[in-house]
């Protein structure tokens, strides 16, 4: 009996020991798998994330499988203390399984997060930056605050027909005309004193070694945190040639339309007016037909008004006064016509004291004034306009000032075609158009062009 009792008590104790060893083994195996997985994740690169996730899932599944097989063994008869011990072991085992699941989910989330991080942007080396600048099609110059050239890319060498070894260290006057270099230096000084600059690119004259002058567009931008400036230069010679052809074509078309209006439509309207007058005389309308006579008079009035409009349109398209090389006379008539037709105060002041002999120059200046006045009326809503023509040292200045809004908020918003045409006409003449906000308010257009007539008068032969 003593032997059988001892044997019966030994069986439940052996089963409890087996389950305890199984639980301990599960926990040890899981912790070892965890340590291996964490170490593998720390050592392996980001592209092996899927392997870490697979190992984590396998370790978690193995731990749960062994725990479930151990917990499913049928309990044997034991003492009350043995049952409490098994309950504690089972609770510890369930806690280990939950902990393994939680850590597996955290590792998978960390791997997914690390896989979504964007790569670090590479930094270009100085050699790569130099290669980019050398491959740029636009001429790029680096200039210090004193106006000395410090860098010169291959596109600039081709544009200015000089080598970088010769030009580096030279002043701006070696690449640009004197007036253009002064304009660029004023921009450098304004930038150095934190003054407000016009963001529009500059139209200046470039210079090649053989004194070949060409029109160029220059964008001046300061280098961040450096006492340097970057010039991006574009040669506008070809664009200027195309603009000249386009404007000349437009001028010829306007002249053709003007002749057709004058020679065809105006003549037909004159014939209709004469026919109406003849019919009125032949009918000899009696006084007892006042309504019919009134209708005839109204018909003749409409025909006369249409005839006057056609003649004015013909004159606007091709001013007759410009045919006799009299720009001041054409501008004076323009001011009088605006004042009569629109009821505005429009004056012309001539301080030039000369007669521009070049018809092309006179025509372009008249078109610029005509476009500026039209913008002042229709876009600026001006009530007072003043046209001023004067001569400077070696140039002619045309000014149009009005008390309306600036065209930069109105004409540019609708395309700004008129402003671009005015600038193109000035560029064809070798000059520039710019808008200024005068101290008294309103808007001032200034157009400066070279005085060709002065050169002709200086050399009459």
Q: For the domain covering 134-235, report its CATH number.
A: 3.30.450.20
> In the predicted model, what is the mean pLDDT of residues 110-115?
60
Give the residue among 289, 450, 257 at the shortest CA–CA distance from 360.
Answer: 450
Provide, for the chain, the percentages of residues in helix, strand and coil under a 3-state DSSP scheme, each rounded to the nearest 5: 60, 15, 25
Model confidence at 95, pLDDT cuts 50, 70, 90, reads confident
Looking at residue 220, what is its pLDDT? 87
**135 near 84, Cβ under 8 Å?**
no
Measured in whole angstroms, the distance separating CA 403 from the mean position of its chain's CA atoms is: 30
**4 near 71, Cβ under 8 Å?**
no
What are the residues whose beta carbons fall under 8 Å from the beta carbon of 218, sequence distance 6 or more? 184, 201, 202, 203, 204, 231, 232, 233, 234
- For residue 457, is pLDDT > 50? no
**101 near 56, Cβ under 8 Å?**
no
Model confidence at 319, pLDDT cuts 50, 70, 90, reads low
Looking at residue 355, what is its pLDDT? 63
**318 near 250, Cβ under 8 Å?**
no
Domain 320-461 = CATH 3.30.565.10: yes
201-223 residue pLDDT tens: 777 888 888 878 888 888 888 88
Measured in whole angstroms, the distance separating CA 8 from the mean position of its chain's CA atoms is: 95
CA angle, residues 363, 364, 368, in degrees to nearest 5:
120
390-401 residue pLDDT tens: 888 778 899 999
Q: Work out the widest C-alpha separation in the chain, in whole angstroms.
A: 163
402-416 residue pLDDT tens: 998 876 544 443 346
- For residue 388, is pLDDT > 90? yes
What tokens appear for 146 in the block? 């004193």
Q: How many CA atoms lie within 13 A of 231 on its CB side?
A: 33
**134 near 118, Cβ under 8 Å?**
no
Measured in whole angstroms, the distance separating CA 289 from the mean position of its chain's CA atoms is: 69
- For residue 40, is pLDDT > 50? no
**321 near 359, Cβ under 8 Å?**
no
254-299 residue pLDDT tens: 778 877 887 788 888 888 888 888 877 777 766 667 777 778 788 8
Pairing of strands 384-391, 345-351: parallel
CA distance 209 to 167: 11
Q: Can you name the residues that pair with 141 across neighbouring β-strands?
A: 152, 231
Most confident range (mean pLDDT) of 12-21, 190-199, 232-241, 406-415 is 232-241
CA distance 392 to 398: 11
CA distance 138 to 154: 9
Looking at residue 352, what is its pLDDT? 75
User: Please, what is the average pLDDT of the chain?
Assistant: 74
Measured in whole angstroms, the distance separating CA 122 from the mean position of its chain's CA atoms is: 27
**414 near 389, Cβ under 8 Å?**
no
What tokens appear for 100 in the block? 């393994």
Model confidence at 64, pLDDT cuts 50, 70, 90, reads low
Q: Can you name the residues that pair with 212 across neighbouring β-strands?
A: none
153-207 residue pLDDT tens: 999 999 999 999 999 999 988 898 877 787 788 777 766 555 444 455 777 888 8
Q: How far is CA 197 from CA 175, 186, 189, 220, in A?
A: 23, 10, 10, 10
Matching residue, tokens 């209709």? 272
């Amino acid at each position: 009996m003593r032997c059988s009792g001892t044997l019966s008590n030994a069986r439940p104790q052996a089963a409890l020991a087996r389950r305890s060893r199984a639980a301990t083994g599960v926990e040890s195996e899981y912790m070892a798998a965890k340590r291996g997985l964490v170490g593998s994740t720390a050592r392996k690169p980001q592209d092996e994330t899927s392997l870490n996730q697979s190992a984590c899932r396998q370790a978690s599944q193995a731990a749960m499988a062994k725990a479930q097989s151990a917990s499913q063994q049928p309990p044997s008869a034991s003492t009350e203390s043995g049952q409490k011990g098994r309950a504690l072991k089972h609770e510890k085992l369930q806690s280990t399984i939950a902990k393994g699941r939680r850590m597996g989910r955290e590792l998978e989330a960390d791997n997914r997060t690390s896989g979504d991080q964007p790569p670090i942007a590479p930094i270009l080396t100085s050699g790569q930056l130099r290669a980019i600048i050398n491959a740029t099609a636009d001429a790029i110059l680096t200039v210090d605050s004193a106006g000395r050239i410090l860098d010169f890319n291959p596109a600039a060498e081709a544009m200015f027909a000089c080598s970088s070894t010769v030009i580096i260290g030279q002043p701006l006057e070696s690449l640009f005309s004197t007036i253009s270099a002064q304009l660029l230096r004023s921009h450098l000084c304004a930038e150095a004193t934190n003054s407000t600059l016009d963001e529009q690119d500059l139209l200046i004259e470039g210079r090649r070694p053989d004194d070949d002058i060409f029109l160029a567009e220059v964008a001046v931008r300061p280098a961040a945190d450096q006492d340097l400036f970057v010039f991006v230069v574009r040669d506008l010679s070809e664009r200027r040639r195309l603009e000249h052809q386009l404007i000349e074509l437009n001028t010829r078309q306007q002249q053709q339309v003007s002749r057709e209006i004058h020679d065809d439509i105006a003549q037909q309207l004159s014939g209709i007016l004469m026919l109406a007058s003849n019919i009125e005389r032949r009918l000899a309308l009696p006084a007892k037909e006042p309504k019919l006579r009134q209708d005839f008079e109204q018909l003749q009035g409409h025909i006369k008004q249409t005839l006057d409009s056609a003649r004015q349109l013909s004159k606007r398209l091709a001013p007759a006064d410009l045919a006799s090389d009299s720009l001041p006379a054409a501008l004076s008539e323009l001011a009088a016509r605006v004042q009569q037709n629109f009821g505005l105060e429009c004056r012309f002041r001539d301080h030039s004291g000369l007669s521009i002999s070049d018809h092309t120059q006179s025509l372009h200046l008249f078109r610029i004034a005509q476009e500026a006045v039209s913008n002042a009326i229709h876009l600026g809503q001006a009530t007072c306009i003043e046209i001023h023509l004067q001569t400077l040292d070696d140039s002619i200045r045309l000014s149009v000032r009005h008390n309306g809004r600036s065209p930069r908020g109105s004409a540019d918003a609708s395309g700004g075609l008129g402003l671009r045409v005015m600038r193109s006409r000035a560029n064809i003449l070798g000059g520039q158009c710019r808008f200024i906000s005068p101290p008294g308010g309103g808007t001032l257009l200034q157009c400066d062009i070279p005085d060709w007539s002065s050169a002709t008068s200086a050399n009459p032969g």
